[in-house]
Amino acid sequence: MAANNSDPILDEGRGGGVKHEAEEAGEGKCGGGGGAAATQAPAAMLPRSGSRPQLDLSGAAIHGNLEDRNPTILLPNQSDDISHLALDIGGSLIKLVYFSRHAEHSSEDKRKLSMKRRLGMLNGGRRSYPVLGGRLHFVKFETGKLNECLDFISSKQLHRGGVDSPSWRSGAQPDNIVIKATGGGAFKYADLFKERLGVSLEKEDEMDCLVAGANFLLKSIRHEAFTHMDGQKEYVQIDQNDLFPFLLVNVGSGVSIIKVDGHGKFQRVSGTNVGGGTYWGLGRLMTKCKSFDELLELSQRGDNSTIDMLVGDIYGGLDYSKIGLSASTIASSFGKTISDDKELSAYRPEDISLSLLRMISYNIGQISYLNALRYGLKRIFFGGFFIRGHAYTMDTISFAVNFWSKGEAKAMFLRHEGFLGALGAFMSYEKHGLDDLRIHHLVERFPMGAPYISWMEKFVQKGTQITAPVPVGFPVTTGMGGFERPTAKGDILRSDASAALNVGVLHLVPTLDVFPLLEDPKMYEPNTIDLDLNEYKYWFKILSDHLPDLVDKAVASEGGTDDAKRRGDAFAHAFSAHLARLMEEPAAYGKFGLANLLELREECLREFQFVDAYVSIKQRENEASLAVLPDLLMELDSMNEEARLLALIEGVLAANIFDWGSRACIDDFDMFKKRMLADKKGQPYKRALLFVDNSGADVVLGMIPLARELLRNGTEVVLVANSFPALNDVTANELPGIVAEAAKHCGVLRKAAEAGGLIFDAMAGIQDDLKDEPVSVPLMVVENGCGSPCIDFRQVSSELAAAAKDADLLILEGMGRSLHTNLNARFKCDTLKLAMVKNQRLAEKLFNGNIYDCICKFEPVHLTS
C-alpha cells in the first residue's frame, strides 16, 4: 500500500506508528540503510485493503553519497553580495536599515525554463520584476556609542554594498559613496562618517522619513499595527482604502506629532519635549541605572503610590466623584514627595521609575488625544523607541487616549516602532522599486543567526552562546483601572536580544504572487486553528521533544563535522529561544499560526546553513518506493475504472477509509467519483494541480499513480512541490528525477513527462516501443514558492500562479497543506483535499474523530459559492 508516509512533526510520533521514530535507531549505526523498513510501520498499524502491493523495503540501501544534495537549491539566506543602507541618527539611538540581496536563486534549470516557456512567462528575457529580491534588516545602536555602529557598517561593508550593483548606485566610486540618512545626527555626524568610512551622508528630512516609513509599514506588512489594552495585544487589519487621515506620534527622545493625510501629505501639528529622553534622563539621574532597560525593568517592581499624590491623599481617602475622579486616581505625579521630608535616597528606585514612566506615557497619550481631537482624527499610531514594546507603556498610553476620548479614538502601536525614520530614509533611494512592492512580496522571518549571531560573535564576544529570551516568570497584565493606581506593572521586560526578535528580517521576494484561484484573497486565512496559549503549549512540547532528533539529522546531513555540530547547537538554541519567546507572548511576531511556526523552524535551519536535513532519508525512501512502483502500477491496471479510482485515493490516504474501521471524517469520495467517472465522458478536467507532500511512498506510490490516472483521462497534470526543503517533503528540484525514474516503468508517465519537459534526451531511446502512441497531455512540475510543510496561498511562486490560470482541479494532499492550513480555504475551481489525520488532538478538535482518520473532502465549485 502506498502510504501517505508520515511527516515527522505534523504527525504524532506514537506507538511506532511513525516511521521516523523507528528509523532513528538504525540510522546512526548502519549508515541509514537498514532503517528504511520502518516506512512500513504506519501501514502495518492501519487496517488496509489487501488489494495494494505491500511495501517491502528491507533490502533497500542508500546509493550514492550521504552528502549528496540538490545543487540547484541555493539558500535564500546565503551570501550577502549586494547591500544597501540607510540611517536614522536620533538624539538617543541610531537606527540602521540595510538591504542584502541574496545570490541569484536556483539557476534557471531546464525544467524551469521549459515551464516558464510553457506558461508564457518568458517575455523576451526582459526582467519582469522591478525590485530585486533580498532582505531588509533592522539594527539599532546607542547614539553615544556611534563607534560601534561605524564598526558594524565597516565590518559588513554595508557602505560599499553598491559598488557591485550598478543598478542600485550607478557610477558610485568607493570614495564617492552616498548614504541616505535622517535625524539630527545626519547633520551632526556627517564629517565623522566621511572621515571614518569615507562616505557622504545625504540628508533626508526627518518628518518626511517618519511618514514614508509609517505609510510603507501600514501598507505592506500584514501584522504591523496593534492595539494594546489591559495587557491584551490585538493586531489590527488595516484597510488600505481607508488608512488616511491618521495621527502619527513618534516618541523618540522628544515627541513629534504629525497629521498624515496621504503619501507625502502631512503636517507636523505639535510636539512635546517631554518624551523618551526625559524618562531615561530623569530616571538615570534619580535611580543611578546604567541602562534604559534596567530603568524600565525597575519600574516593574515599583509602587507609584509612595511617590504620586492621589486624589484620595488630598480628599482624605474619598473619591471626588462629582468630577469623575476616584480616590485612587493620580492627582499629581510625584506630588507626594513634597509632603515628606525625605531625601531622594529614601525613595525606592523602583517606585521612582514607575512614577516617571507612568507620568510621561500618560502625558503623551493625553497630548496625542488633544491633537486628534483638534483635527477630528480617530486613529493614532505611536512609534519611536520609547515604546519599546513595553506592555505598561502601551497600556498607559492607550488608557489615556481611551479615557479622554471616551472610547472615540484608538491608540495603535507599530511593531517596527523605532524604525520608521530609517525605513523612510531607505525608501528615499530613487528607482529601487520599493514602491512597487505589494504585501505578498514581503515575507518576514525571525532569524537569530546571521547577521545577529555573527555580530555577537564579532563584537560582543559571546561566541556561539545566544542570549535566549527565556521567560523569567508568568506575564502579569495591567488590569483595567490600573492607571489610577497601578497594581501590576505590566509584562516582563525582555532582554534587548529578545526584543530584537520582535522585528524580523523582511525578505523581499518580488516573484511571489497571490494564488489566482483563491476565491476571496482578502478573507483567506491559511491557518485552520488559531494558536492560543494552549495550542502553543501543545506545539511547544511537540517541537521541543523533536528537536534533538532533528538536530541529529541536520548534523548528520552535513557530514557530522565539528562545524556542523556547532551549527546544530546554535540552531537548537535559536529555535528554543524562539519557542520560549512565543510561549511567553504568542503574538510577539505578529499573528502567528502553526504554518508560521513550522516555517520558522525551517528558516532557522536554513539560517544555520543546514541545506537539507532529510536529504539522505528522502533519497532512501524514494528509491525503496520506486522499486515497488511497477508492481503497484500493474495491479492498478488490472482493476476496473471504479475500483482503480478508489484504490488510488486510498493509496494517497494510506488507509482503507471506507470499510476497514478507520473512519472517514469527511468522505466525499462518491461525489468525486461521479465527477471523475460519470461526468467525465463529456468533460474531463483540463488541468489538475497536485500539491504533493512527502518523499518516498507518499509521492511515488500515492500521488504519481494518481497523476497517471488523470493523464490517461486527458487531464494535464502539474505537480506542485516545495521550493525549499522542509522536513521530508519532496522539493520541486527533486521531483523531475523521481518522475523520470517512475517513467522508466510506465509509458503514460514517460510520454507525459516528455511532453511536459521533465524528461530530456537522456531518457530518449529507453522505450522505443512508445513511438507510436499518441502525443500525450503534459506532466509538469512547478515550485510553490515555500519551504514549509504548510502553504499560504497569499504568497506562492509566480510560476505556480501562472500554472493555476488554466487549472480546473486542485488536489491538496497531506496534513500540512490540507488540514493545518487550507482546510477551510475556498477556491475558484473544484478542489479535493486528502489527508490522514495523524494527530489525535487535531482529529478530536476538528472532527471529533480519532488518530488515523482520513479526510477526502471534495468541493466542486458549483457547491462552494
Ligand X SMILES: CC(C)(CO)[C@@H](O)C(=O)NCCC(=O)O
Ligand Y SMILES: Nc1ncnc2c1ncn2[C@@H]1O[C@H](COP(=O)(O)OP(=O)(O)OP(=O)(O)O)[C@@H](O)[C@H]1O
Which grid coordinates belong to 101? 540581496
415 binds ligand Y (CB under 6 A): no
Nearer to ligand X, 271 or 630 (CB): 271
CB of residue 90 vs ligand X: minimum separation in angstroms? Answer: 6
Nearer to Mn ion, 360 or 740 (CB): 360
CB of residue 179 vs ligand Y: minimum separation in angstroms? Answer: 17
Contact pattern for ligand Y over residues 225 through 264, marking x by CB under 6 A: ---------------------------xxx----------
Closest CA to 818 of 797, 840, 835: 835
418 binds ligand Y (CB under 6 A): yes
User: Binding partner of residue 271 among Mn ion, ligand X, ligand Y, none, CB under 5 to 8 Å per kind?
Assistant: ligand X
133 binds ligand Y (CB under 6 A): no
CB of residue 272 vs ligand X: minimum separation in angstroms? Answer: 5
Binding residue (CB under 6 A) for ligand Y from 67, 104, 142, 637: 142
Long-range CB pairs of 373-379, under 8 A, 24+ apart, other chains included: 373/405, 373/409, 374/269, 375/245, 375/247, 375/259, 375/269, 377/245, 377/246, 377/247, 377/259, 377/409, 378/408, 378/409, 378/410, 379/246, 379/247, 379/409, 379/410, 379/412
List contacts with ligand X (CB under 6 A): 90-91, 184, 206, 252-256, 271-273
Which grid coordinates belong to 729? 517533503
| Terminal alpha carbon distance of the chain | 36
CB of residue 545 vs ligand X: minimum separation in angstroms? Answer: 49
625 binds ligand Y (CB under 6 A): no
388 binds ligand Y (CB under 6 A): yes
Nearer to Mn ion, 161 or 254 (CB): 254
Q: Is 247 helix (H, G, I), strand (E, B) or coil?
A: strand
CB of residue 217 vs ligand X: minimum separation in angstroms? Answer: 19
CB of residue 183 vs ligand Y: minimum separation in angstroms? Answer: 5
Which grid coordinates belong to 8? 515527522
Nearer to Mn ion, 144 or 463 (CB): 144
Closest CA to 308 of 344, 363, 345, 355: 355
**Helix residue ranges, H only, 10-145:** 19-29, 41-45, 110-118
Nearer to ligand X, 255 or 652 (CB): 255
DSSP string, 341-402: ---GGGS-HHHHHHHHHHHHHHHHHHHHHHHHHHHT--EEEEESTTTTT-HHHHHHHHHHHH
CB of residue 87 vs ligand X: minimum separation in angstroms? Answer: 13
Partners of residue 259 on adjacent β-strands:
247, 267
How many amino acids of this chain bind ligand Y (CB under 6 A)?
Answer: 20
Nearer to ligand Y, 385 or 847 (CB): 385
CA 108, CA 72: separation in Å to the nearest integer? 9
CB of residue 141 vs ligand Y: minimum separation in angstroms? Answer: 9
Cis peptide before 475 (omega within 30 of 0): no
Binding residue (CB under 6 A) for ligand Y from 386, 392, 724, 852: 386
Q: Using CB under 5 A, which of the segments 44-52, 85-93, 347-355, 810-818 binds Mn ion? A: 85-93
C-alpha distance from residue 618 to each of 30, 148, 399, 471 (Å): 16, 45, 55, 37
Nearer to ligand X, 275 or 787 (CB): 275
92 binds ligand Y (CB under 6 A): yes
CB of residue 152 vs ligand Y: minimum separation in angstroms? Answer: 15
User: Binding partner of residue 593 among Mn ion, ligand Y, ligand X, none, CB under 5 to 8 Å per kind?
Assistant: none
**Residue with the three cell numbers 471626588:** 320
* Cβ-contact 662, 854 below 8 angstroms: yes
Q: Is 410 helix (H, G, I), strand (E, B) or coil?
A: strand
CB of residue 249 vs ligand X: minimum separation in angstroms? Answer: 10
355 binds ligand Y (CB under 6 A): no
C-alpha distance from residue 601 to each of 124, 130, 573, 575 (Å): 39, 30, 12, 7
CA 62, CA 65: separation in Å to the nearest integer? 8
Contact pattern for ligand Y over residues 286 through 305, marking x by CB under 6 A: ------x-------------
User: Binding partner of residue 272 among ligand X, Mn ion, ligand Y, none, CB under 5 to 8 Å per kind?
Assistant: ligand X
271 binds ligand Y (CB under 6 A): no
According to DSSP, residue 404 is labeled H
Nearer to ligand Y, 276 or 451 (CB): 276
- Among residue numbers 790 through 809, which ones bind ligand Y (CB under 6 A)? none
Taking the C-alpha atoms of 464, 467, 468 and 471 in order, what is their torsion angle to the nearest 10 degrees? Answer: 160
Binding residue (CB under 5 A) for Mn ion from 252, 365, 526, 684: 252
- For 275-295, give one letter per residue: b (16+ CB within 10 A) or e: bbbbbbebbeebbebeebbbb
Q: Using CB under 6 A, which of the segments 5-13, 15-23, 89-97, 618-626 binds ligand Y? A: 89-97
CB of residue 246 vs ligand X: minimum separation in angstroms? Answer: 18
Closest CA to 210 of 174, 160, 246, 170: 246
Partners of residue 859 on adjacent β-strands:
831
CA 82, CA 398: separation in Å to the nearest integer? 41
CB of residue 255 vs ligand X: minimum separation in angstroms? Answer: 5
CB of residue 311 vs Mn ion: minimum separation in angstroms? Answer: 36
285 binds ligand Y (CB under 6 A): no
Number of other residues whose CB lies within 10 A of the CB of residue 68: 13
Binding residue (CB under 6 A) for ligand Y from 279, 362, 392, 539: 279
User: Binding partner of residue 822 among ligand Y, ligand X, Mn ion, none, CB under 5 to 8 Å per kind?
Assistant: none
* Cβ-contact 99, 134 below 8 angstroms: yes
Which grid coordinates belong to 638? 488490472
Which residues would be at the binding site for Mn ion (CB under 5 A)? 90, 183, 252
Which residues would be at the binding site for ligand Y (CB under 6 A)? 90-93, 142, 183-184, 252-254, 276-277, 279-280, 292, 384-386, 388, 418
